[in-house]
Amino acid sequence: MAETEPPRLYLITPSEIELSRFPGQLADVLDAHEVACVRLALSSHDEDTLCRAADACRDVTTPRDVALVIDTHFVLAERLGLDGVHLTDGARSVRKARKALGADAIVGAFCGTSRHEGMNAGESGADYIGFGPAGLSALGDGTQADPELFEWWSQMIEIPVVAEGALDPGTIQTLTPNTDFFGIGDEIWRQDTPSKALESLVSAMR
């Protein structure tokens, strides 16, 4: 990315949402901050639950001209008229998703901490590559996507990169010169006022 361009915001929904409350919270955040994309990242694999959540989120994102993608389920992305899919298995499903959704859809791939997987996903047609966790986390095996990974990617690869996972102001400040998007989720949704919580993270980009 060009060094003069600040990273953009990429919001990730909680793994479970209350449809009576979350769309209002999402609207508040989108009205307070310029967001490029929202990812529906529910843990549920129930089709009806996912469809109702997607419809509720789309009612918020579409009028605000914000892209909406869904985790993994690219068949649902096509059926529901969403903007694309975020794949969580690295490069493995990129070609299949691209073929199903077409050239204009967003196809993103999360590649953990592997630059090799990221390069394969990019070569397979991914529009962006996600690495993480970008911050220190006790989840999984504790492996962190090192700042050097983002620096190398930004210098060598033209495909946009998303930093996500365990973000805090310090991590965001460190990565701002070398990432295109910050994927922000539980960092704000666990707070009483997500839009205000996001403000402290956005301030770290400046």
pLDDT in tens, 96-105: 999 999 999 9
Q: How confident is the model at residue 2 (pLDDT cuts 50, 70, 90)?
A: very low
Average pLDDT over residues 127-135: 97
Q: How far is 201 from 168, CA to CA, in rounded Å?
A: 7
pLDDT, tens digit, 9 for 90 and up, residues 141-174: 778 999 999 999 999 999 999 999 999 999 999 9
Nearest to 143 by CA among 121, 165, 119: 165
Which residue in the block uniquely carries the two structure tokens 């901490």? 113
Q: Mutual orientation of helices 194-203 and 22-32 as an angle, nearest 10°?
A: 30
Please report, for the chain, the start and end positions of each structural domain, with discontinuous segments joined by +.
8-203
Scored b (16 or more CB within 10 A) or e, 19-32 reads eeebbebbbbbbee
Q: Fold for domain 8-203?
A: TIM Barrel (3.20.20)
Enclosing H/E stretch for 70: strand 67-71
> In this predicted structure, what is the pLDDT of residue 5?
82
**What pTM was computed for the model?**
0.95
As a whole number, the mean pLDDT across the chain is: 95
Instruction: Return the percentage of the chain with pLDDT > 70, whole number.
Output: 97
Burial class, 156, CB count within 10 angstroms (exposed 0-12 / middle 13-18 / buried 19+): exposed
Polymer length in residues for the chain: 206
As a 3-state breakdown, the chain gives helix, strand, coil percent values, each rounded to 5, of 40, 20, 40
